[in-house]
């Protein structure tokens, strides 16, 4: 392998600094400095350089970290089990390569398990971890760096769709439920209309509005924002009687937790591609904004056998839709969304 020359090393260091700075603005200040598409492009270039020169990778490289920090404005909370990000692909051909590789690894490592893909929409919101003890919500935290998040319990308690007590029975004594907090497209439009009617500036987009709302110092402020949640994962779950992701969603729904209506259990790559096409065409008619599709190996036995890197599960992937060009009627400028 050819060694790293000075210009590539300085490009790499500059990129790593930029990615850290943009992440801080996005996660800690809820005020991105660049579009998601631009961020993804820079992150992709960082990964490309590291693939060519693995000697550049260190433990604090942005590609090895989950992303957010913990702001001093909130108490730190250790998640009982780690929270992860997702590996991204940006085209259906990249997705096909990913499905093929994961399928081959699953067939080798968990040969008796049937491989099925659970397809879900990728909600453009803020990841939160809910801890229920004996069926009671005792803590809610942001993802943070994946190990430690920010305690936002008081703010999450203001969200009506999140039960403070689980319904039914059969929940483990201690269970971590992960999901995405968002503002629905309809609520966002109404909220902004109201702001404008009061002569105030409208909020820029639902994702940052949701993240900013949940990270308020005063829960009374959070309570004024129309926040919702869909759950899409589970952490500590000892004693949970479920063999797959989709069975778990059925249980979570029975316990009164809000589960996305858009998930579908599929068998073939063609069906996955069809799902991507259908949701791409109808993405603006959904309850909330999405920035892609998440494809997960459904069986827990396969998830366990494929495992995790330091940043992402090897049993799930996010397909990101290409950025759309939006013409605003007022200014006729083009922006990435
Ligand atoms: P990610 O957004 O690619 O994916 C991981 C997250 O997706 C999970 O943590 C989870 O919370 C969420 N998610 C939504 N729906 C889900 C579902 N159905 N199942 C599972 N997870 C689901 O990764 P990330 O590390 O959170 O953030 C990286 C992305 O955030 C970038 O790709 C970029 O688009 C954006 N970002 C933008 C900037 C910026 O400056 N504009 C900065 C940092 C990150």
pLDDT, tens only, 171-185: 999 999 999 999 999
Residue 58: pLDDT band by 50, 70, 90 thresholds?
Answer: confident
In a shared domain, residues 243 and 137: yes
Confidence class for position 337, pLDDT limits 50, 70, 90: very low
Those residues whose C-beta lies under 8 Å from the C-beta of residue 202, and which sit 6 or more positions away, are: 192, 195, 196
Q: What is the overall mean pLDDT for the chain? A: 93
Residue 15: is its pLDDT beyond 70? yes
Does the C-beta of 312 come closer than 6 Å to ligand 1?
no
pLDDT digits (tens, 9 = 90+) for 21-33: 999 998 888 889 9
Residue 97 maps to a domain: yes
Residues 214, 284 within the same domain: yes
Confidence of residue 304 (pLDDT cuts 50, 70, 90): very high
8-17, 62-71, 145-154, 210-219: segment of lowest average pLDDT: 62-71
* 273 and 156, same domain (yes or no): yes
In short, whether 289's Cβ falls inside 6 Å of ligand 1 is: no
306 shares a domain with 258: yes
* Residue 19 is assigned to a structural domain of this protein: yes
Q: Is residue 69 part of a domain?
A: no
Specify whether 92 is located in the same domain as 55: no
Q: State the distance from the centre of ligand 1 to the C-alpha of 213, rounded, in angstroms.
A: 18
Within this chain, do residues 182 and 57 fall inside the same structural domain, yes or no? no
Q: How far is the CA of 123 from the centre of ligand 1 (A)?
A: 9
Please check whether residues 208 and 329 belong to one and the same domain.
yes
Instruction: Report CA(1)–ligand 1 centroid distance (Å).
Output: 33
Structure tokens at 150: 């920010």
pLDDT at 334: 41
Stretch 254-269: mean pLDDT, rounded?
A: 98
Domain that holds residue 30: 6-64
Are both 18 and 140 inside the same structural domain? no
* pLDDT, position 65: 87
Identify whether 70 is part of a domain.
no
Q: At 45, phi and psi to the nearest 5?
A: -65, -40
**Residues with a known catalytic role:** 122
pLDDT at 324 over 90: no
The CATH number assigned to the domain holding 29 equals 1.10.287.610
One domain, residues 15 and 131: no
Q: Return d(Cα 247, Cα 228) in angstroms, integer.
A: 22
Residue 154 and residue 15 share a domain: no
Same domain, 46 and 103: no
d(C-alpha 276, C-alpha 272), whole Å:
6
Q: What percent of the chain has pLDDT over 70?
A: 96
Q: Are residues 60 and 98 in the same domain?
A: no
- Distances, alpha carbon 82 to alpha carbons 3, 58, 143, 227, in Å: 35, 20, 9, 25
**pLDDT score at 327:** 45
For position 148, which CATH number holds?
Answer: 3.30.470.30
* DSSP code per residue over 58-97: -TTSGGGS-S----TTS-EEE-SS------EE-SHHHHHH
Domain total for the chain?
A: 2
Cβ of residue 86 lying under 6 Å from some atom of ligand 1: yes
């Amino acid at each position: 392998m050819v060694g790293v020359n000075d210009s590539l090393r300085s490009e790499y260091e500059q990129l790593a600094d930029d990615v850290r700075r943009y992440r801080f603005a996005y996660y800690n200040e809820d005020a991105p400095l660049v579009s998601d598409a631009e961020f993804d492009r820079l992150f992709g270039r960082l990964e490309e350089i590291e693939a060519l020169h693995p000697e550049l990778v260190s433990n604090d490289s942005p590609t090895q970290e989950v992303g957010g920090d913990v702001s001093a404005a909130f108490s730190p909370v250790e998640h009982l089990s780690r929270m992860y990000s997702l590996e991204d692909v940006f085209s259906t051909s990249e997705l096909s390569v990913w499905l093929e590789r994961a399928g081959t690894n699953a067939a080798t490592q968990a040969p008796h398990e049937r491989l099925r893909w659970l397809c879900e929409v990728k909600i453009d919101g803020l990841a939160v971890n809910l801890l229920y003890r004996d069926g009671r919500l005792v803590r809610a935290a942001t993802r943070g760096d994946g190990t430690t998040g920010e305690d936002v319990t008081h703010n999450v308690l203001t969200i009506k769709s999140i039960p403070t007590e689980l319904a039914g029975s059969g929940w483990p004594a201690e269970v971590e439920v992960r999901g995405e907090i968002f503002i629905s497209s309809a609520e966002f439009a109404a909220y902004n209309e109201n702001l404008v009617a009061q002569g105030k500036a409208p909020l820029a987009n639902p994702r940052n509005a949701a993240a900013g709302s949940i990270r308020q110092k005063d829960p009374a402020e959070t309570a004024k924002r129309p926040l919702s949640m869909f759950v899409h994962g589970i952490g500590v779950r000892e004693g949970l009687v479920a063999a797959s992701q989709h069975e778990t969603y059925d249980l979570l729904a029975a316990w009164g937790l809000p589960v996305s209506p858009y998930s579908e259990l599929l068998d073939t790559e063609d069906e996955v591609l069809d799902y991507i096409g259908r949701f791409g065409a109808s993405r603006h008619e959904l309850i909330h904004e999405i920035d892609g599709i998440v494809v997960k190996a459904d069986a827990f036995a396969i998830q366990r056998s494929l495992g995790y890197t330091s940043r992402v599960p090897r049993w799930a992937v996010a397909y990101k839709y290409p950025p759309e060009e939006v013409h605003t009627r007022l200014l006729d400028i083009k922006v990435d969304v």
